[in-house]
Structure 1
Amino acid sequence: MAATMLLGVGLSACGAGGDTAGGGGDDTVDVGYVQLSIFSPLFVAQEKGYFADEGLKVNLENVKSGQDAIPLAASGKLDTVLAGFSAGMFSSINTGLDVEVVGSMGVQPEDRERPPSALLVRQELIDSGEYSSLADLKGRTIGVLGGEGATSAHYVGMALEEAGLSLDDVNFTQVSNPDIPTGLQTGGIDAGFAAAPFWEMAVEDGVAEKVWTTPEGTSGTGMIYGGEFSDSENGQKFFDAMARAARDLQGEQRYSEENLRIIAEATDQSVEDVKSTPLYTWLPDLAPLPDQLATMERTWMKLGALEYDQPLPQEEYVNTTFSDNVDAGQDGSDGSAGSDG
């Protein structure tokens, strides 16, 4: 499954919905996405024909990260990107790239015992008494996907803040999710922030303990439109199809047999793997979360990952128009929220 977590930016077509890349045409939408279950509304909308219902042909193209794909969206080579937010995204916007955040993706569910992602500490440190609280992470090496400028580092920063620490008090190192259990076992890292099922593997193998997870409603991923696409009629059509799919994934519906099959096929997993892994939830209108974006920006400013020192005006890069225009009564909706965001 490691191969599903980090994929090259070759812009090769993905078979999540059967379309092939390079379609072209006024009703063709080219989507860059990271192949993870957190982006399940995309897979569901494609497989169930919701894009087709809007008159769209959607090409799905694997990217390694949002940071890599944002310039492609700004130049029109991609219309939209579904990925985690990063310091690189804010830097790109600051330099004038024409992109904007239009929606959120997965948000942390209520379950704190089996969350979709968690902060782990090496079992040896706990057994020796060197770690007893989050404050004991000071000076430690923490493995995170994407390094200090990525979403996982921001989440760790939230944990550190609870202990009166800052991101400057720890050392970040880039470690992919599948490699975090090994890093904890060998002592290469003292702690790590990992997605399920990898954090669960580390706990089950006795190499680490889960010590923290993000609060309910937290989201660090979303939908980014290129400026040209944002100004087109297809921007709303694409968003409506995505929101329709998000409503199919509310509550326990996300674990329906049909949805599990779709997610499994799109992420190259078995249905049993997906079923046994905690899934995120999604806002039924996929509204963007400006307050959380502002917090992320401040985190990276403090860390020095951004070259500017004043927050960007949010009206320049957050657009709520698409979620505001979503028809609350459209088919596929049960009217319930997956999180209070």
Structure 2
Amino acid sequence: MKKLKIVAAVSLVGLVLSGCAATDAPAASGELQTVNVGHVQLAIFSPLYVADAKGYFEDEGISLKLEAIKSGQDAVPLAASGKLDVVVSGFSAGLFSAVETGLNVKVVGSMGVSAGDEEVPPSALIASKALVDDGTITNVADLEGRKVAVAGGAGGTGAFYVGMALEEAGLSITDVELVTLGNPDMPTALANGSIDAAFASAPFWNMPVEDGTAVSLWTTPTGTSGTGVVYGGDFAATDLAQKFFTALTRGAQDLQGDDRYTDENLAIIGAATGQTAEQVAAVPLYRWLPDLAPLPEQLAAMERMWMELGAIVYADPIPEADYVDATFAQNS
């Protein structure tokens, strides 16, 4: 199959933010200091919302200013320039391209991680049941040459997850035809045969499985995470950087195990993401590392796969030490 040629670009179009970064001016004694946080408004970033609602940032002398963003790729340049202090979002090929061009940002933490063994995981690779029933697809290896839908295109985390599944089956990410499609459109596309498989988040993977139009083939292994926390370089050098991360990890610690589903936490997550508590509870939540430590080996694997796809165009991998800083997690 012809290798995809996709150049990852970093776009600022359509994102206008106001206000000063936390590093612009020191606060008076006892006054809360503002930290500007760009976030994608999803439940996978629940530690941020829980820590904010429960006052953990205030305990550290911080007042959050939350700015909704469409993707981390849009916000990374804003963090590098100081217009944002922190970005909480999914990783993409654009992050690596930005670092390679010299933008000053650091990956300091992870967000939602897969438990791997859950009966109803937060996301899964699914295939058309019609193709399974006629014997065309019996396992992941049978996806070779077929159309597989991913959100975010070749430079997004969905493509990385599909690549993981294919490599486990002895194939490469270039052995399938990736189709860019939003999660809500995937069940219909599977039903009408315009795609053969999809990597989808709940409820968009389990809905077609439950109604008999799809079959689950694979889910992400334990500990896999495609999301995390990025600091602007200037913010990372301030005292607030550690205080912010300490508060954030307190939010993560309140979400361990079944505590994810306490009434209080569900209400907080719902309010932050525009849902009811019942709607949040109806969809499987990810898990979070108690210290939200970054996962440099996985980031390196993402970079390698996106290079293979052509979503990253530079020749040599970036040393992990150039863009990953685990000290905030270690000191929380």
TM-score (norm 2): 0.91
Using the TM superposition, give the Cα deviation of residue 23 of structure 1 relative to its aligned residue in structure 2, in angstroms.
Answer: 6.8
The equivalent residue for 1:305 is 311
Which of the residues 95, 105, 115 maps onto 2:121? 115
1:10 CA displacement = 4.0
CA distance in 2, matches of 1:74, 1:183: 38
Does structure 1 residue 170 correspond to structure 2 residue 167? no
Structure 2: any 5+ residue segments left out of the alignment?
A: 1-12, 27-32
* 2:279 corresponds to 1:273: yes
How many angstroms apart in 2 are the aligned matches of 1:261 and 1:111?
26
Conserved? CA contact 1:67–1:89, under 8 Å: yes
What runs of 5+ residues in structure 1 fail to find an aligned partner? Answer: 1-7, 13-20, 327-341
Distance 1:127 1:160 in 2: 21
2: CA distance, partners of 1:180 / 1:266: 25
Instruction: Give yes or no for contact 1:33–1:82 (8 Å, CA) kept in 2.
Output: yes
1:137-152 maps to which residues of 2 (within 5 A)?
137-152=143-158
Counting aligned pairs with the same residue, the percent is: 59
- 2:105 is equivalent to residue 99 of structure 1: yes
| Matched residue, 1:228 | 234
Deviations 1:249-277 (A, max 9, x none): 01111111100111111111121111121
Matched, 1:81 2:87: yes
Q: Cα 1:206–1:11, aligned 2, differ >3 Å: closer, same or farther?
A: farther
CA contact (8 A) 2:20 2:83 kept: no
- What is the CA–CA distance in structure 1 between the aligned matches of 2:275 and 2:14, rounded to whole Å? 21
Deviation at 1:47, TM superposition (A): 0.7
2:78–2:84 contact (8 Å) kept in structure 1: yes
* Number of residue pairs the alignment of both structures matches: 311
1:9–1:275 Cα change, 3 Å: farther
Hey, what's the Cα distance between the residues in 2 that align with 1:82 and 1:108?
A: 17
Amino acid at match of 2:264: E
Match of 1:255 in 2: 261
Asked if 2 retains the 8 angstrom alpha-carbon contact of 1:112 and 1:213, the reply is no
> Could you give the per-residue CA deviations for residues 47-95 of structure 1, whole angstroms, max 9, x where no partner exists?
1111111111101111111111111111111111111111111011000
- Secondary structure at the aligned position of 1:198 is classed as coil
Higher relative contact order (CA 8 A, sep 6+): 2
Structure 1 equivalent of residue 41 of structure 2: 35
Question: What is the letter of the counterpart of residue 293 of structure 2?
Answer: A
Larger mean CA deviation between 224-233 and 202-211 belongs to: 202-211
Deviation of 1:11 (Å):
5.1
Conservation of the 8 A alpha-carbon contact between 2:81 and 2:232 = yes
What is the TM-score of this pair, normalised by structure 1? 0.88
Question: What is the CA–CA distance in structure 1 between the aligned matches of 2:245 and 2:230, rounded to whole Å?
Answer: 11
Distance 1:137 1:201 in 2: 21
Question: What secondary structure is seen at the aligned counterpart in 2 of 1:215?
Answer: coil
Amino acid at match of 2:269: I
Determine the structure 2 residue equivalent to 1:155: 161
Deviation at 1:292, TM superposition (A): 0.7
- Supply the distance in 2 between the matched residues of 1:176 and 1:117 (Cα, whole angstroms): 14
- How many Å apart are 1:9 and its aligned residue? 5.3
Q: Distance in 2 between matches of 1:234 and 1:145?
A: 34
| Contact 2:110/2:229, CA 8 A, preserved across alignment | yes
Q: 3, 19, 22: which is aligned to 1:22?
A: 19
Q: Which amino acid aligns with 1:70?
A: V
Which string of whole-angstrom CA distances, capped at 9 and with x for unpartnered residues, describes residues 128-166 of structure 1?
Answer: 211111111011111111001111100000100111111
After TM superposition, the structure 1 stretch with the greater mean CA deviation from structure 2, 21-30 or 135-144, is 21-30
Distance in 1 (CA, whole Å) between partners of 2:193 and 2:177 is 14
Runs of 4+ aligned structure 1 residues displaced above 6 Å come to none
3-state SS of paired residue (1:318): coil
